[in-house]
Amino acid sequence: MEQFKNKRNPILPLKHHIPDCEAHVMPDKKLYLYGSYDKRADEYCSTEYRVVSTADLEHWTIHETALNGREIPWFRDPNAPRSEGIDWSRPTPFLAQILAGQQQTSEKNDASKACREEESILYAPDALCRDGRYYLYFCMTDDSEGVAVSEHPWGPFREPRRLPCGGIDPAVFVDDDGAVYFYWGQIFSHGVRLNEDLVSFDPDQVVHNLVTEEQHFFHEGSSMRKIGDTYYYVYADMERGKPTALGYATSKSPLGPFEYQGIVIDNDGCDPASWNNHGSLECFAGQWYVFYHRSSRNSRSLRRLCIEPITIDADGRIAEVKMTSQGVGDPFGPGEWIMGYQACGLWGNVYLDEDAVYGEKLTQISDGDEVVFRYIKSRQGFTGMELFYRGSGVVEVYFDQMLVIAVPVQGKAEHERSVSVEFPAEFAARTGTYELKLKFLRAEGLEVLKLTLR
Q: Is residue 327 assigned to a domain?
A: no
Q: Is residue 175 assigned to a domain?
A: yes
pLDDT of residue 444: 97
Predicted model pTM: 0.95
Q: Can you give the residue range of the structural domain that contains 57?
A: 2-309
By DSSP bridging, strand 48-54 and strand 259-266 are unpaired
- Same domain, yes or no: 231 and 83: yes
pLDDT of residue 428: 81
- Same domain, yes or no: 245 and 190: yes
Q: How far apart are CA 2 and CA 46, in angstroms?
A: 19
The CA–CA distances, whole Å, from 267 to 38, 270, 303 equal 17, 6, 11
- Same domain, yes or no: 70 and 154: yes
Max CA distance (Å), the chain: 75
- Same domain, yes or no: 267 and 393: no
Q: Is residue 329 assigned to a domain?
A: no
pLDDT of residue 84: 78
pLDDT of residue 109: 44
**Final residue in a domain of this structure, among 292, 309, 326:** 309
**Final residue in a domain of this structure, among 258, 291, 309:** 309
- Same domain, yes or no: 279 and 370: no
Give the count of alpha carbons within 13 A of 302, CB side only: 19
Tallying the residues shown for the chain, one arrives at 454
- Same domain, yes or no: 288 and 351: no
Q: Is residue 205 assigned to a domain?
A: yes
pLDDT of residue 116: 52
Q: Is residue 99 assigned to a domain?
A: yes
Count the domains in the chain.
2
- In order, the DSSP letters of 146-171 are EEEEESSTT---EEEEEEEEE-S--E
- Same domain, yes or no: 298 and 347: no
- Same domain, yes or no: 220 and 179: yes
pLDDT of residue 105: 45
CA dihedral 222, 228, 230, 231 (to 10 degrees): 20
pLDDT of residue 300: 96
Q: Which residues contact 434 (CB under 8 A, 6 or more apart)?
A: 375, 376, 377, 399, 400
> Any idea what the CATH number is for the domain that residue 438 is in?
2.60.120.260
- Same domain, yes or no: 108 and 20: yes
The tens place of each residue's pLDDT in the chain, 454 residues long, gives: 999 999 999 999 999 999 999 999 999 999 999 999 999 999 999 999 999 999 999 999 999 999 999 999 999 888 888 877 876 677 787 777 767 765 544 433 443 444 455 689 999 999 999 999 999 999 999 999 999 999 999 999 999 999 999 999 999 999 999 999 999 999 999 999 999 999 999 999 999 999 999 999 999 999 999 999 999 999 999 999 999 999 999 999 999 999 999 999 999 999 999 999 999 999 999 999 999 999 999 999 999 999 999 999 999 999 999 999 999 999 999 999 999 999 999 999 999 999 999 999 999 999 999 999 999 999 999 999 999 999 999 999 999 999 999 999 999 988 999 999 999 998 887 899 999 999 999 999 999 999 999 9
> Any idea what the CATH number is for the domain that residue 117 is in?
2.115.10.20
Q: Is residue 53 assigned to a domain?
A: yes
Q: Is residue 419 assigned to a domain?
A: yes
pLDDT of residue 117: 53
Q: How far apart are CA 295 and CA 277, in angstroms?
A: 9
- Same domain, yes or no: 295 and 396: no
- Same domain, yes or no: 33 and 126: yes
pLDDT of residue 108: 37
Lateral strand order in the sheet of 22-25: 2-5, 59-68, 48-54, 31-34, 22-25
Q: Which residues contact 144 (CB under 8 A, 6 or more apart)?
A: 72, 74, 75, 80, 83, 162, 166
Task: Please name every residue paired with 408 in a beta bridge, in sequence order, or none if there are none.
Answer: 394
pLDDT of residue 83: 78
Q: Long-range contacts of range 129-138, CB-CB < 8 Å, 24 or more positions apart?
A: 129/24, 129/26, 129/27, 129/153, 130/174, 130/180, 130/198, 132/27, 134/26, 135/172, 135/198, 136/34, 136/49, 136/66, 136/67, 137/163, 137/170, 137/171, 137/172, 137/182, 138/49, 138/67, 138/72, 138/170
Q: How far apart are CA 221 and CA 123, in angstroms?
A: 10
pLDDT of residue 100: 74
Q: Is residue 17 assigned to a domain?
A: yes
- Same domain, yes or no: 199 and 236: yes
**Final residue in a domain of this structure, among 290, 309, 328:** 309
pLDDT tens track for 390-432: 999 999 999 999 999 999 999 998 899 999 999 999 888 789 9
Comparing CA positions, the residue from 451, 368, 380 lying closest to residue 416 is 451
Comparing CA positions, the residue from 345, 363, 186, 376 lying closest to residue 267 is 345
